[in-house]
Chains A and B, each alone.
Chain A
Amino acid sequence: MATDKQHIEPPRFGTYLLQRIYGRELYDEISGDMLEIYADRLQSHGKAYASFHYMVDAVQSLRNYDLRKKNNTTQNNSIAMFRNYFKITLRTITKNKVYSALNIMGLALGIAAFVFILQYVTYENSYDKFHTDHEHIYRVRYKVYRGEELNIDCAAAVPRVGPFMKEKMSEVIDFARAFPVSGVMSTNNNQFRENRIHVTDPAFLSIFDYPLIQGDAGTALSEPNKVVITEEMALKYFGTTDVIGRPITFNSWFEMSLQVSGVTINVPDNSHFKYDFLISYETLNNRTRDEETGRVPSEEGWGWYDFNTYVLLRDGTDPAAFDRKFNDYLLEERGEDFAEYNFRAEFPLQKLTDIHLYSNLLQESEPEEQGDGQAVFFLTIIAFFILVIAWINYINLSTARSVERAKEVGVRKTMGAYKKQLIYQFMAEAVILNFMALIVGLLIVFFGINYFNQLTGSQLSLDFLLSLNFWLVAGGVFITGAGLSGLYPAFILSSFRPSDVLKGKFSGNKAGNTLRKVLVVFQFAASVALITGTIIFYQQLAHMRNADLGFDMTDTLVMKGPAVFGADSLFTTTMNTFKNEMLKYTEIEAISASSNVPGDEIFWTNSIRKNGETPDKAKTIYIVGIDYAYFDTYDIELLAGRNYSKTFSTDTGSMILNASAIRYLGFESPEAAINQKVMFWDYPKTIIGVVDDYKQMSAKTAVSPIIFPLALDENNFLTLKLNVDDYSKAFEITQTEFDRFFPGNPFDYFFLDDFFNRQYDNEREFSRVFTLFAVFAIIVACLGLFGLSSFSAIQRTKEIGIRKAIGADISNIIFILTREFMQLILVSIVIAFPLIYLVMDGWLDNFAVRINLGIPVFLLAGLVVILIAILTVGYKTLITAKSDPVKALRYE
């Protein structure tokens, strides 16, 4: 029998499994059956067979996991308890509706704010990521140094650099240039001025992902006089997208007939590069080719920098190493020129995905749309701040209410609850409340998204609700929130000693009070910082908009000059007649034609030096071509000398500069510069006048040195100064006359103040976003403060009753009740101000015209916060203070 005993030992794991599957009640008899079968098999087939089948049977027994478990009370206990927690939570919620609402609303607002900001930030970060190769696409920047000084830092490069890079650098798979032009597009029926036209290499459509819905991406741009248009343009001009081969005429500084060779999708909003038309590059080359020399500036030029150049690099290329290597090739090719003209050019790469947020160069493709990486970063921080503030609320309110819950804890403990179970209970409460808040928060997002878009000018959609990433983040926030906000109260509440609590000795928790204070201080410091930041933001914005720009932009109408014009020789004469005709109307005070208007970025530059200086001292200067009336029309002050005049026939050899240019060239003063000679490119010119540094661009940037040559054939913009308030009349006259003089040209106009102020769109958008979230933050913080203060008022009902009975008056009581909170808020103000001062002072340094941070701003912000806090705390406090002491003292 000893051998039998030895054999009767089936695999342990199988036995273990059976023990787990069958409850205590069934295990004995069933394992008996199993062992019997095992023994039979052992005898008939041997140990391996028996053991194997024993395991199979055990595993198959898993199907019986629920056999006879229905009445098994010990197993069902935890589920019943969870059901109980749920019930208790609901009861607690309904019992204290105000606190629960505060709690849930606070959390929900926090979550909503977080989701909004997250979406906004995600959108800002999503720019250009829809290109499959976005990781490997770079833009070639153009930097020019004169001596050690960085003269030009430009987003557009020269035409030669793209092909040159591809020839020399094996890392370059392909390159594409895009040369922006604007002009009038016309078909038989339609004629519009278009600004989003680019002349591009064939590779443009293969490097970037702008899929064609008509035509072939590989060949659409390989022949001259071809144009690829967007779906929107196809519908605008032809009413259909089936437009391959249809003709369209382009009028700009060159006129030509183009043929549509492809239709792409509309450019996505989150593309830094926007186009409506892409003209094939050969078209431009044919235009610029010099018949005599056979040279093609738009292919070979090293100086003409208007070409956005993009390169697609091989996987794993290090851009820094690439730049160094390319620099060597560049010096080899261009070193002589660099030495001769004393300048040095560089073409560093810039990541495609960095362009939207982290680039602020000259000639950006969409300067108004450029994002601000710093602001996005701040927003992300604010998002977390708001969320943390909301979580703090939960912790504060739950610990504050611990006194109330203490009895419940005491009873539960007496009845035999373990500490672990109480922790479970309070965690479960946190989970349930956080879950409700998540739902409410998402509802806020769902119904508020349109309003948010309107307010901030962003284009968020609700599509994110379908993305897995979003739910992962939301889940993360939910779990972190429930964990963080539940854990502390759970441990505090569960640690009460029943004997103390039930005897009524318990009266709050010192450590809890301190923590609560620290958290309130943190909350309010964050809110104060946000409010102060927002006020400063607004002040700076207002300051910039009201800054003395040095020119007058009221009542100023600007028209785009005529692009379609038959004979160039007649142009100047016609323009003169037009101007004279216009001035006959009393509604028109002044009229001027120029190459640029204020607020329009100058792309035209050339070199300049003082007469007598060697060419190596030459500097780059911006150019605005003007007529006689320009300075008068804009009311720009002449600091020294005189304006151009028709009475001086020598004025073609004269120059007017702005004050910056005078300093830039090294003259002592505007007066000292008058009648001095300068070399403009290679031509000697005499300075006859110096004008004030009016803000050609916004007050954000410093004024560039500008030279104003007399250029009577310039016609990019026609500025009209209207002298009546009846715009419609003046407008009508202008349009009629324009159509009479320049038939075949679309009448394109804008009012200068709108045009100029659009430069602040970005700041305005950000200021709205910041305000919105500052308000969110303060509301959430106030919800918490309201809960805390009213709670402490209730706690002190008895004390107040006694005080009143002895003779304290209401103001006394209010003072006592609010004092504690006011102290906390003062502390948070003291903490927040230095921090926000440092941050905002740094931010303001980005602007050429900036406000100085004085005491008033902080005083205002401090007052606002204190006022809000008093209102928040005051309501419940007042009620308590006014209450009848008799009732308070009969309270127990």
Chain B
Amino acid sequence: MKGTYLGEFEELVLLTVASLGQEAYAVSVKAEVESNAERKVNISAIHSSLYRLEDKGFLTSEFGEATQKRGGKPKRFFKVTSAGFSALQQSKDLKEQLWSSIPQLTFQSI
């Protein structure tokens, strides 16, 4: 189905949101991705992924508190939906299946 395909970066963001639990909002996701994946990520890319994932129904969101640091602007917290989890699961299954089908020989020679 068009629109539910999960891109590599999107999967990364989705997993990160899942791992952050209640504390997932753009800035924290960015920090987490950067520390885990060890790569520089621009905030605009995080924004674009988060809102698109929400459009696809993999994330749901609600407003959180506004802080002084944020110039009085609210945070938007994201949570992974069940559709999101099953998409992650599918992706994981697919990869495991592919991993398991790699011949032992090739695997050893690496």
Q: Is there an interface contact between B47 and A30, defined as CB atoms closer than 8 Å?
A: yes
CA distance A37 to B55 in the complex (A): 25
Given the contacts A32-B66, A33-B26, A63-B48, A57 and B71 also touching, CB distance less than 8 Å: no
Find chain B residues with CB under 8 A from A32 CB. Answer: 66, 70-71, 73-75
Q: Contact at A33–B47, with CB atoms within 8 Å?
A: yes
Q: Is the CB of A4 within 8 A of B68?
A: yes
B52 contact set on A, CB distance < 8 A: 67
Is A60 touching B42 in the complex (CB atoms < 8 A)? yes
Query: Assuming A26-B51, A36-B69, is B44 touching A63 (CB within 8 A)?
Result: yes
**Known interface pairs A26-B51, A36-B27; A31-B73 also in contact (CB < 8 Å):** yes
Chain A 37-59 interface 0/1 with B at a Cβ cutoff of 8 Å (1 = within): 10110000000000000001100
Chain A: minimal CB distance from B49 (Å): 10
How many angstroms between the C-alpha atoms of A562 and B52 in the bound complex?
Answer: 94
Which A residues between 284 and 332 are near B, CB-CB below 8 angstroms? Answer: none
Between B25, B30, B66, B71, the greatest number of chain A beta carbons within 10 A of the residue's beta carbon is seen for B71
Q: B17 to nearest A CB, angstroms?
A: 14
A35: interface (CB < 8 Å):
yes
Asked if A739 CB lies within 8 Å of chain B CBs, one says no
Per-residue contact bits, chain B 34-77, to A (CB 8 Å; 1 contact, 0 not): 00000000111101100110010000000100111111011110
| A29 and B74 contacting across the interface, CB-CB below 8 Å | yes
Closest residue of chain B to A68 (Cβ to Cβ) is B51
| B27 and A28 contact, CB distance less than 8 A | no
- Count chain A CB atoms within 10 A of each CB in B42, B44, B66, B76 and give the residue with the most: B44
- Nearest CB of chain A from residue B97's CB, rounded to whole Å: 34
* Residues of chain B with a CB closer than 8 A to A37's CB: 27, 30, 43
Q: Of residues 620 to 675 in A, which have CB atoms within 8 Å of B's CB atoms?
A: none
Q: Is A375 an interface residue (CB 8 A)?
A: no
Q: Does residue A80 face the partner (Cβ distance < 8 Å to B)?
A: no
Nearest residue (CB) in A for B71 is: A35
The interface residues of chain B lying within 8 Å CB-to-CB of A34 are: 43
B75: A residues at CB distance < 8 A: 29, 32-33
A40 to B55 CA separation, bound complex (whole angstroms): 29
A34 to B27, CA, bound (A): 8
Chain A residues near B63: list those with CB within 8 A: 29
A547 within 8 A of B: no
Q: Is A28 within 8 A of B74, CB to CB?
A: yes
A25 to chain B, nearest CB (A): 10
Is there an interface contact between B47 and A31, defined as CB atoms closer than 8 Å?
A: no
Q: What is the interface of chain B mostly: helix, strand, loop, or mixed? A: mixed
State the Cβ distance, B2 to closest chain A Cβ, in Å. Answer: 15
Q: How far, in whole Å, are A40 and B67 apart by their CA atoms in the complex? A: 13
A19 to B47, CA, bound (A): 15
The answer to the question of A256 belonging to the interface, with a C-beta cut-off of 8 Å to chain B, is no
| Set of chain A residues within 8 Å of B74, measured between Cβ atoms | 28-29, 32
CB distance from A71 to the nearest CB of B (A): 10
Contact with A along B8-46 (1 / 0, CB 8 A): 000000000000000001110010000000000011110
Residues in B with CB closer than 8 Å to A33 are: 25-27, 43, 47, 70, 75
B contact residues around A61 at 8 Å (CB) = 43-44, 47
- Across the interface, which residues of A come within 8 angstroms of B43, CB to CB? 33-34, 37, 57, 60-61
Query: Which of B27, B44, B70 is the one whose CB lies under 8 Å from A64?
Result: B44
Complex interface: chain A residues within 8 A of B47 (CB): 30, 33, 61, 64, 67
Complex: A560 Cα to B68 Cα, angstroms: 107
- Which residue on chain B has the smallest CB distance to residue A39? B69
Q: Which residues of B contact A39 (CB under 8 A)?
A: 69-70
A window 55-106: CB within 8 A of B: 56-57, 60-64, 67-68
**In the bound complex, what is the Cα–Cα distance between A1 and B47 (angstroms)?**
29
Tell me the bound Cα distance from A638 to B71 in angstroms.
114
In angstroms, Cα B42 to Cα A196, docked, is: 77
- In the assembled complex, the Cα of A39 lies from the Cα of B75 at a distance in Å of 15
**Contacts A33-B25, A35-B69, A37-B27; A57 near B42 (Cβ below 8 A):** yes
Query: CB-CB < 8 A to A36: which residues of B?
Result: 27, 67, 69-70
Interface contact B71-A8, CB-CB below 8 Å: yes
- Whether B73 and A29, one on each chain, are in contact in the complex, defined by CB atoms closer than 8 angstroms, is yes
Please measure, in the bound complex, the distance between the C-alpha atom of A1 and the C-alpha atom of B69, giving whole angstroms: 11
Q: Report how far A56 CA is from B45 CA in the complex, Å.
A: 12
Which residues on A sit within 8 Å (CB–CB) of B45? Answer: 60, 63
CB-defined contacts of A31 to chain B, threshold 8 Å: 71, 73
> Considering only CB atoms, which chain A residue lies closest to B70 in the complex?
A32
Complex formed: what's the CA distance from A62 to B42 in Å? 12
Residues of B with C-beta under 8 A to A28: 73-74
> For chain B residues 75-110, which have a beta carbon within 8 Å of chain A?
75-76
CA A133 – CA B26 in complex, angstroms? Answer: 68
Q: Quote the shortest CB–CB distance from A833 to chain B (angstroms).
A: 73
Decide: A57 and B69 in contact? CB cutoff 8 A.
no
Among A1, A35, A40, A56, contact of B73 (Cβ-Cβ < 8 Å): A35
Q: Which of A1, A4, A57 contacts B44 (CB 8 A)?
A: A57
- Separation of A82 and B65 alpha carbons in the complex (Å): 43
Instruction: Report if A64-B69 is in contact (Cβ < 8 Å); known contacts: A30-B26, A33-B43.
Output: no
Neighbour of B48 across the interface among A1, A8, A57, A67, CB < 8 A: A67
| Residues in B whose Cβ lies below 8 Å from that of A56 | 42
Closest chain A residue, CB of each to CB of B67? A36
CB distance from A719 to the nearest CB of B (A): 90
Interface centre among B42, B63, B75 (most CB of A within 10 A): B42
A35 to B74, CA, bound (A): 11
CB-CB < 8 A to B42: which residues of A? 56-57, 60
Specify which chain A residues have a CB less than 8 angstroms from the CB of B68 in the assembled complex. Answer: 1, 4
Q: A residues within 8 A CB of B69?
A: 8, 35-36, 39
Q: Which residues of A contact B26 (CB under 8 A)?
A: 29-30, 33
Contact residues in B for A35 (Cβ distance below 8 Å)? 69-71, 73
Contacts of B71 in A (CB 8 A): 8, 31-32, 35
* CB <8 Å contact, A64 and B48: yes
CB distance from B71 to the nearest CB of A (A): 4
A839 to B45, CA, bound (A): 73
Q: Which B residue's beta carbon lies closest to that of A5?
A: B68
Write the A799-830 contact mask toward B (1 if CB under 8 angstroms, else 0): 00000000000000000000000000000000
Residues on A with beta carbons closer than 8 Å to the beta carbon of B73: 28-29, 31-32, 35
Most buried by A among B27, B52, B74: B27
What is the CA–CA distance of A113 and B71 in the complex, to the nearest angstrom? 66
With a cutoff of 8 Å between Cβ atoms, the chain B residues found around residue A29 in the complex are: 26, 63, 73-76
Across the interface, which residues of B come within 8 angstroms of A62, CB to CB? 44
On chain A, the residues within 8 Å of B67 by CB distance are 36
Q: Are B76 and A60 in contact (CB under 8 A)?
A: no
- Contact of A60 (CB < 8 Å), options: B27, B30, B44, B55: B44
Chain A positions 777 through 795: 1 when the CB is less than 8 Å from some CB of chain B, otherwise 0: 0000000000000000000
**Shortest CB–CB separation between residue B34 and chain A, in angstroms?**
11
Instruction: Looking at the assembled complex, report how far the CB atom of B54 sits from the nearest CB atom of chain A, in whole angstroms.
Output: 9
CA distance A539 to B26 in the complex (A): 88
Q: Name A70's closest neighbour in chain B (CB-CB).
A: B55
B66 contacts across to A, CB distance below 8 A: 32
- Say how far B68's CB is from chain A's closest CB, in angstroms: 7
Residues of chain B within 8 A of A64, CB atoms compared:
44, 47-48, 51
> What 3 pairs between A and B have smallest CB-CB spacing?
A32-B73, A32-B70, A61-B44
**7 pairs, CB–CB < 8 Å, chain A vs chain B:** A1-B68, A28-B73, A29-B75, A32-B71, A37-B27, A60-B42, A63-B44
Footprint of B on A, CB under 8 Å?
1, 4, 8, 26, 28-37, 39-40, 56-57, 60-64, 67-68
Given contacts A32-B75, A63-B48, 7 further A-B pairs with CB under 8 A are A1-B68, A8-B69, A36-B70, A60-B43, A60-B45, A63-B45, A67-B48
